[in-house]
């Protein structure tokens, strides 16, 4: 082992001690797993300690760290209290994540440790967003993102590197290449097995480093961290290493030979460093044993701390999914009414929000120079510049993930996904990161990101651009799902969403962008917790949202001419669902028709029907009816598209049939 820089005895002992702390911690975790104290998956870091220890030595307190499911070593090297890390392994409430994350999800923002991530490569775009926030806020911090070589096969790896290079962000992508993603050798999965070489496509400096040499790791990290800190943009370091234990405790290791493992164990980073220090006279006699004993004693104390900890009460099960929060009170409007379209209402909200809060910015595909696919952001580039109206590549997972990371690190991003169909490419980020991080971190992390999506059919865009998937997202705890149907809601819901401490998805129906009307010039935030009664009635409740609301209102007018007074409920908030308003209306009218542009099977209308059946069955005078999209991919020809979608005539027919059935009140 060479000495790439001058190392004093204190520095040397600190590195050795940290590696011993991690090694003894991991060995004890293996024992505890076998004893049933630690459950789930357990991925040990034994053999790779030099990377976490050397890398952390090169960082400052304000730098950010993200890692994978093998992150215990990174957490300890970063300085997280060992007792809290061990308690998290147990799942105890005293753990780093309150016991909710477990082995694979350790978080502690006090140490700028943004956690382990169990979805391969999912944290790379988040790291880009964290670095973006530091860059925008002019903080001299660097983000270091650790990942395994298996992540390079994921699209998020390439999307994240491209975005980081495009924006010259201070990110270090630190690949811990242990040769086997899980049980498949790199040569079987990659046409180019050099991870460092992949960075060249993004004009990103890179370097291969001996990951079993703690001093080589520290030296490389110091060079690249300083370059990134000085504005040199992102870098990639490929640390060549080897995990001495299985991928996880379930792994039988049938894919590699015992001889190969033994050969790598001869390069044990702790042994190599100890021998080098003794050869250089930097480690006094008996110091190794003393440092090792200290590490063992600390592990003993950590286990005792975890054993003495308590389990979170079952009564707290649903706490921490979202932040306890009351939206700001809506204010009465006093200004003159002005003509507006739906898109103009959205644009005015964007403009007002960015004028009021410098942390707010918009990013997405074609939002800047093109002005947005639906022209919502037209002209904002000239008003706010490229830093706050950011065009992104066509890489939904990367820029949605970046929005999540930026939100976690102090900004208020508005992310525009051109159409809900494209959001499937970012579902990992929305479901596994945005929606779960607060709960999984024990309430330590918040993700105040607003994601806008165009949705719906009716414009002859055929099957791949015509979906209504808001019900899918409403299924996910941790999200707020809003569907504005009026001009005032389009403007006011966006303004209110930007006050939320949790992720909000705003669905904008394509058929409503051109909707015109009058809007108070001082229209502000609207209520984003309750449904709205758009038309009062006594005979039945028509429940709709988004593009279906105008159809429901038109149907109500037709029904009124026949003597049937329908109450029209604009659901508008799908999560958290306002069940009280829904049930109150049904109990008044005793009949319910739900209009939903999703397909009937698995639709949100089915959820509404189930709630009413469970809570108000004896108040109903007739079966619940649903008017949904025909179960066929949306056709291109106009007559077939119209036939597939709920129309006014379909709503009227369902209402008449509902009135004709069941109990009649005189």
pLDDT digit string, tens, across residues 390-436: 999 999 999 999 999 999 999 999 999 999 999 999 999 999 999 99
pLDDT number for residue 663? 67
Q: Which residue has the higher pLDDT, 296 or 466?
A: 296
Going by pLDDT thresholds of 50, 70 and 90, the confidence category of residue 301 is: very high
> How many other CB atoms are found less than 10 A from the CB of residue 395?
21
Q: What's the mean pLDDT in 26-55?
A: 95
- Residue 516 sits in the same domain as residue 538: no
**Total domain count for the chain?**
3
332 pLDDT higher than 90: no
158 within a domain of the structure (yes/no):
yes
In a domain, 666, yes or no: no
| Average pLDDT over every residue of 126-155 | 97
Q: Torsion-angle region of residue 346: left (phi > 0), alpha (psi -120 to 50) or beta?
A: alpha
Rounded alpha-carbon distances, angstroms, from residue 449 to 122, 125, 141, 293, 491? 17, 14, 22, 47, 17
Q: How many CB atoms lie within 10 A of CB 7?
A: 17
The reply to whether 465 belongs to the active site is yes
Marked catalytic residue, from 13, 84, 344, 396 = 396
**261 in a structural domain:** yes
Task: Look at strands 532-535 and 566-570 and give their pairing.
Answer: antiparallel
Helix (H) / strand (E) containing 197: helix 195-198
Rounded to whole angstroms, how far apart are CA atoms 666 and 648? 28
Closest CA to 654 of 516, 534, 548: 548
Q: Strand locations in 30-168, DSSP E?
A: 64-68, 113-117, 143-148
> Considering the domain boundaries, does residue 3 fall inside one?
no
Domain identity same for 407 and 488 = yes
Which whole number is the average pLDDT over 513-531?
Answer: 92
Residues 114 and 249 in one domain: yes
Per-residue pLDDT band for 571 (boundaries 50, 70, 90) equals: very high
Query: Do the domain assignments include residue 320?
Result: no
565 & 632 share domain: yes
Domain holding 626, by residue range, is: 532-660
Band (pLDDT 50/70/90 cuts) for residue 246 is confident
pLDDT band at residue 186 using 50, 70 and 90 as cut-offs: confident
| Residues 579, 451 share a domain | no
Cα 385 to Cα 378: distance, rounded to the nearest angstrom: 12
Residue 65 and residue 213 in one domain = yes
Of 465, 489, 520, which residue constitutes the final position of a domain? 520
Mean pLDDT value across the chain: 94
Long-range contacts of 421-428 (CB under 8 A, 24+ apart): 421/464, 421/465, 421/466, 421/467, 421/469, 422/365, 422/396, 423/396, 423/451, 423/453, 423/469, 425/396, 425/397, 426/396, 426/397, 426/400, 426/401, 428/119, 428/122, 428/156, 428/397
559: CATH: 3.40.50.920
The span from the CA of 585 to the CA of 168, in Å, is 54
Once rounded to an integer, what is the mean pLDDT over residues 254-279?
90
Tokens 């204010």 locate to: 331
pLDDT in tens, 448-459: 999 999 999 988
pLDDT (tens digit per residue) in 632-645: 999 999 999 999 99
Distance CA 241, CA 363 (A): 38
- Write down the pLDDT at residue 2: 66
335-355 confidence digits (pLDDT tens): 789 999 999 999 999 999 999
Residue 274 lies in a domain: yes
Q: Are residues 362 and 464 in the same domain?
A: yes
Q: 549: Cβ–Cβ under 8 A, 6 or more apart, which residues?
A: 485, 486, 534, 568, 570
Residue that is last in its domain, among 254, 288, 305: 305
The two tokens of residue 78 are 């970063």
The two beta strands, 592-599 and 573-575, are unpaired
Residue 337, beta-bridge partner list: 520
Check if 156 is active-site: no
Name the band, by pLDDT with cuts 50, 70 and 90, for residue 147: very high
Could you tell me the CA-to-CA distances from 360 to 140, 150, 467, 506 in Å, in that order? 20, 35, 29, 16
Tell me the pLDDT band of 329, cut-offs 50, 70 and 90.
Answer: confident
In this structure, the answer to whether residues 245 and 154 fall within a common structural domain is yes
Question: Which residues, 6+ apart, have CB-to-CB distance to 282 below 8 Å?
Answer: 7, 8, 9, 12
**Same domain for 507 and 539:** no
Question: Nearest Cα to 156, choosing from 432, 408, 544, 376?
Answer: 432
Give the pLDDT score at 501.
Answer: 96
Report DSSP letters for 624-645, one per residue.
Answer: -EEEEE-SSPPPSSHHHHHHHS
Q: Tell me the DSSP string of 211-261.
A: TT-HHHHHHHHHHHHHHHHTT---EEEEEE---SS-SSTT---TTS-HHHH
Cα radius of gyration (the chain): 28
Q: Is residue 586 part of a domain?
A: yes
Q: How confident is the model at residue 386 (pLDDT cuts 50, 70, 90)?
A: very high
Please list the residues that pair with 117 across neighbouring strands.
68
- C-alpha dist (Å) from residue 509 to 438, 455, 483, 643, 644: 29, 5, 8, 19, 17
Same domain? 433 vs 546? no
Q: For the packed helices 49-57 and 269-280, what is the interaxial angle rounded to 10 degrees? A: 60
How many angstroms separate the CA atoms of 221 and 612, rounded? 59
Distances (CA, A) of 601 to 9, 121, 219: 69, 33, 58
Residue 224 pairs with which residues in a beta bridge? none
Residues 573 and 632 in one domain: yes
CATH number of the domain residue 138 falls in: 3.40.50.970
Q: How far apart are CA 615 and CA 626, in angstroms?
A: 18
Establish if 321 belongs to a structural domain: no
Q: How confident is the model at residue 242 (pLDDT cuts 50, 70, 90)?
A: confident
Place of tokens 């709920």: 646
Q: Stretch 382-387: mean pLDDT, rounded?
A: 96
pLDDT-above-70 percentage for the chain: 99
- Please tell me whether residues 447 and 536 are part of one structural domain: no
Domain stop point among 305, 328, 352: 305
pLDDT of residue 254: 77
| Cα separation values, 207 from 6, 124, 200, Å | 21, 18, 11
User: Mean pLDDT throughout 434-454?
Assistant: 96
Of 17, 72, 123, 465, catalytic: 465
Which uninterrupted H or E stretch holds 274? helix 269-280
């Amino acid at each position: 082992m060479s000495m790439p820089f001058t190392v004093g005895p204190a520095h040397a002992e600190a590195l050795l001690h940290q590696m011993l702390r991690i090694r003894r911690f991991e060995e004890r975790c293996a024992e505890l797993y076998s004893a049933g104290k630690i459950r789930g998956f357990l991925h040990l870091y034994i053999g790779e300690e030099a990377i976490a220890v050397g890398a952390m030595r090169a960082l400052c307190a304000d730098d950010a760290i993200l890692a994978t499911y093998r992150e215990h070593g990174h957490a300890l090297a970063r300085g997280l209290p060992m007792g809290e890390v061990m308690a998290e392994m147990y799942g105890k409430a005293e753990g780093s994540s309150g016991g909710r994350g477990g082995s694979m999800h350790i978080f502690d923002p006090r140490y700028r440790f943004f956690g382990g991530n169990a979805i391969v490569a999912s944290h790379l775009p988040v790291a880009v967003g964290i670095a973006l926030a530091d860059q925008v806020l002019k903080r001299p911090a660097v983000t270091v993102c650790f990942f395994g070589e298996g992540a390079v096969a994921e699209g998020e790896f390439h999307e994240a590197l491209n975005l980081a290079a495009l924006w010259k962000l201070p990110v270090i992508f630190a690949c811990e290449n242990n040769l086997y993603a899980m049980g498949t050798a790199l040569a079987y999965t990659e046409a180019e097995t050099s991870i460092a070489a992949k960075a060249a496509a993004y004009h990103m400096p890179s370097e291969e480093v001996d990951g079993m040499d703690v001093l080589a790791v520290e030296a490389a990290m110091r060079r690249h961290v300083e370059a990134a800190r000085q504005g040199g943009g992102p870098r990639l370091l490929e640390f060549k290493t080897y995990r001495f234990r299985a991928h996880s405790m379930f792994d039988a290791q049938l894919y590699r030979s015992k001889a190969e493992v033994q050969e790598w164990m001869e390069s044990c980073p702790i042994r190599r460093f100890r021998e080098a220090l003794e050869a250089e006279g930097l480690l006094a006699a008996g110091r190794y044993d003393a440092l090792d004993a200290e590490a063992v004693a600390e592990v003993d104390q950590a286990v005792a701390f975890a054993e003495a900890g308590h389990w979170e009460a079952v009564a707290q099960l649903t706490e921490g999914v979202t932040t306890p929060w009351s939206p700001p009170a809506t204010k009465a409007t006093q200004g003159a009414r002005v003509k507006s379209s739906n898109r103009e209402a959205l644009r005015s909200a964007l403009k007002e929000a960015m004028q009021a809060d410098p942390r707010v910015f918009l990013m997405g595909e074609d939002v800047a120079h093109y002005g947005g696919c639906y022209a919502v952001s037209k002209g904002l580039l000239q008003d706010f510049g490229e830093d706050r109206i950011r065009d992104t590549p066509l890489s939904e997972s990367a820029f949605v993930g970046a929005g999540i990371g930026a939100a976690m690190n102090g900004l208020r991003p508005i992310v525009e996904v051109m159409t809900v169909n494209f959001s499937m490419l970012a579902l990992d980020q929305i479901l596994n990161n945005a929606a779960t991080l607060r709960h999984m971190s024990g309430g330590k992390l918040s993700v105040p990101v607003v994601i806008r999506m165009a949705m719906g059919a009716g414009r002859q865009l055929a099957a791949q651009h015509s979906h209504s998937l808001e019900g899918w997202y409403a299924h996910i705890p941790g999200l707020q799902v809003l569907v504005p149907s009026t001009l005032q809601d389009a403007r006011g819901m966006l303004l209110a969403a930007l006050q939320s401490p949790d992720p909000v998805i705003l669905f904008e129906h394509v058929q409503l962008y051109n909707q015109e009307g009058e809007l108070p010039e001082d229209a502000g935030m609207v209520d984003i917790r309750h449904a709205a009664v758009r038309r009062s009635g006594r005979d039945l409740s028509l429940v709709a949202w988004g593009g279906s609301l105008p159809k429901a209102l038109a149907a109500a007018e037709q029904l009124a001419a026949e003597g049937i007074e329908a109450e029209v409920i604009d659901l508008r908030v799908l999560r958290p669902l306002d069940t009280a308003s829904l049930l109150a209306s049904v109990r008044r009218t005793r009949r319910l028709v739900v209009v939903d542009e999703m397909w009937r099977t698995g639709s949100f209308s089915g959820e509404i029907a189930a709630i009413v059946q469970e809570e108000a069955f004896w108040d109903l005078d007739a079966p619940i009816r649903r008017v949904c999209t025909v179960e066929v991919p949306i056709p291109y020809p106009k007559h077939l598209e119209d036939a597939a979608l709920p129309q006014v005539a379909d709503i009227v027919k369902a209402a008449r049939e509902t009135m004709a059935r069941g109990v009649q009140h005189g």
